[in-house]
Amino acid sequence: MAAIAALSFVAVKVLPWALGFASGKYLYQTVAGSPDAQTLTTTQVSEQIDRQGSQVFLAIKQEFPDDYEAVVEKIATVARLGNVEQVRNASRMAVAGLRQRYASLLSSAPASKAAEALGAQLAMLNHVMARETAATCNNYLRQGPGALSTPDQDFLPDMDKIGATLFHAFGAAKNVGLPAVAARDEDWSLLAEAFISSGGTQAEMDAIANVSPEFEGLCPAIAKLYAAALSLQGEPGRHIKTTLLYEIARN
């Protein structure tokens, strides 16, 4: 039972960094690479972001237009200084700040939007498992995309989708007015049962609870956990999904 209880605290800490990385990389590509950075206007920055096709920035623009304008203004100001690293850092910090500001909304997110966001996390993890070694995947869970061999070329679309689905979940939570909920003990018990039913083992549950770097099957175990959460229906499923996402987004 100790490992089951730990699911409610430890396992939800995976992948808190992905959103900031994706947003920062897109702005770095679209803004810092401009040949006329010193004369950039906010309109030009916004147009470049639109042409790049960033899902996360489109989601921010749709769900939180005032925040989008503030982010674009901040990036344009930094870009005029011509410092590429500052552009990247400012963009990552700006979007990460929005993520942390709105994380508390997730407890009121509808189940459908929560499922989309958690599904994006699972898709990213499955992609990493397919492309990287078990050791690299384990490092990815603890260290973020810097542990991957080619994070920019291969995994940026996955991280972009993670960010976009989270911001759409924020927006839906803000607009639908559902009651805020948190996963309860009985919800975590249902998650543990679904995990075991899908082929999860006690050893995998212990590894998740301890985020064991030496456990070669840690990534598949986390994938099973996410899949189990996605399989839960009704209010228990909503409680689990939104609580997992809150822990991811608030870091």
Model confidence, pTM:
0.84
Tens of pLDDT, residues 198-236:
898 888 888 887 776 778 888 899 899 999 999 999 999
So what's the pLDDT on residue 92? 79
Two tokens, residue 114? 């929560």
**Residue 216, SS3?**
coil
The pLDDT of residue 16 is above 50: no
Mean pLDDT of 86-106: 84
Q: Which two tokens stand for residue 6?
A: 């730990």
Q: Which burial class, exposed, middle or buried, applies to 161 when counting CB atoms under 10 A from its CB (0-12, 13-18, 19+)?
A: buried
User: What is the per-residue pLDDT across 125-182, written as a single tens digit (0 to 9) for each?
Assistant: 999 999 999 988 888 887 777 788 776 667 888 888 888 999 999 999 998 878 888 8
Residue % of the chain over a pLDDT of 90 = 31
For residue 228 the two structure tokens come to 């189990």
Closest of 51, 178, 37 to residue 111, by C-alpha: 178
Q: How far apart are CA 136 and CA 128, in angstroms?
A: 9
Residue that the structure tokens 């995990």 belong to = 195
Confidence of residue 13 (pLDDT cuts 50, 70, 90): very low
With bands split at pLDDT 50, 70 and 90, how would you rate the model's confidence at 36? low
Contact 124, 155 (CB under 8 A): yes
The distance of Cα 169 from the centroid of its chain, to the nearest Å, equals: 11
Radius of gyration (C-alpha) of the chain in whole angstroms: 19
Rounded distance between C-alpha atoms, residue 192 and residue 209, angstroms: 12
* Range from 62-76, 151-165, 180-194 carrying the lowest mean pLDDT: 151-165
Is the per-residue pLDDT at 53 higher than 60? yes
